[in-house]
Structure 1
Amino acid sequence: MTPETNPSSSSGTSSFRDIALSGAVALVLSLLINWLIVFGAKTGGIAPALMALNYGPVSLFTTLGVVGATVTYGVLTRVAASPDRPFAAVAAIVLVLSLVPDFTVIPSEPGGSLIAGAILGAMHVATAVVCVGALTDLRNR
């Protein structure tokens, strides 16, 4: 199949279908990892009263983060000749910003603690790593 007849092939950019599929993979992996972390925290009795460390909020915010990452990567494929490195930089910046509430707000929430904030931060790191890994191809650069 030539690039002209293969709709998922384009000149150096990923197709919408490829990006959506990679985003779906990132979402499934991120949710599974974060659910395992929630399970471990609940099993260990860590912050049982903290609302943010429950399956519902974790699922919602993980989904929003992965969808945001996927849309961002999709936009970058349209405006940058090589979107992988700029995306990794944006992901790193967003990751650092996402950690701020984990260590400033979560410890003072009802049922919160610094350990609970660190666990939520670990979920952010896991999701960022999965998104960068699934959406980009940095290993071949």
Structure 2
Amino acid sequence: MTESDISCEPWALWKIGIVAAVVSALANLVLMLVTRSSVAVPEGFGPFGVIPIILWSFIGAFGAIGVYALLRKMSKSPNRNFTIAAVIVLLLSFIPDLALAYVSEGPLGGATTGAIIVLMFMHVISFFIVVPMLRSLANESV
């Protein structure tokens, strides 16, 4: 599919973006279920709930859709620029996870190193699902 084909079908980005969001959320839920028993997760640790995982997976995916839509309109190399932006956002997304090590109370308190690593890995999983799916909309070389 070429970039001109995409401009003729305005819903293509949303269709693939929604699929990417669902796949990302499901993959992260599977990771949570698989690792919950093997990683020391504090009882009631908020980020390991089903709702937060689905919510944040969708927020990340829809943020990526918005950025990609803007870059497709404003950039001569949207895939390249989107990938650069996505890598930067991925790296920045680790900061709140790492900050959890310093929270001792409340639903975010008591995070173990293993739990933090799993949360960071969820970001990586979402990156490797959402970015390639959105980039597949154009046959642009990086």
Using structure 1 for the length normalisation, give the TM-score: 0.83
RMSD between superposed Cα atoms in Å: 2.3
Which sections of structure 1, spanning at least 5 residues, go unmatched?
1-7
Higher relative contact order at CA 8 Å, sep ≥6: structure 1 or structure 2? 2
Aligned length: 134
Q: Could you tell me which amino acid in structure 2 is paired with residue 125 of structure 1? A: V
Match of 1:90 in 2: 85
**Take 1:130 and 1:23, find their aligned partners in 2: how far apart are those partners?**
10
- Give the C-alpha shift of residue 13 in structure 1: 5.1
What residue in structure 2 maps to residue 131 of structure 1?
A: 130
Tell me, yes or no, if the aligned pair for 1:107 and 1:116 is still in contact at 8 Å: no
Per-residue Cα deviation, 1:37-90 (whole angstroms, up to 9, x for no partner):
111122335314211111111111111010100111011111112210100000
Provide the rounded CA distance (Å) in 2 between the counterparts of 1:116 and 1:106.
Answer: 10
What is the TM-score of this pair, normalised by structure 2?
Answer: 0.83
Identity %: 28
1:1-141 alignment, distance < 5 Å:
11=4, 14=7, 15-44=9-38, 46-49=40-43, 50-106=45-101, 108=103, 109-137=108-136, 141=141
Mark the runs of 5 or more structure 2 residues left unpaired by the alignment.
none
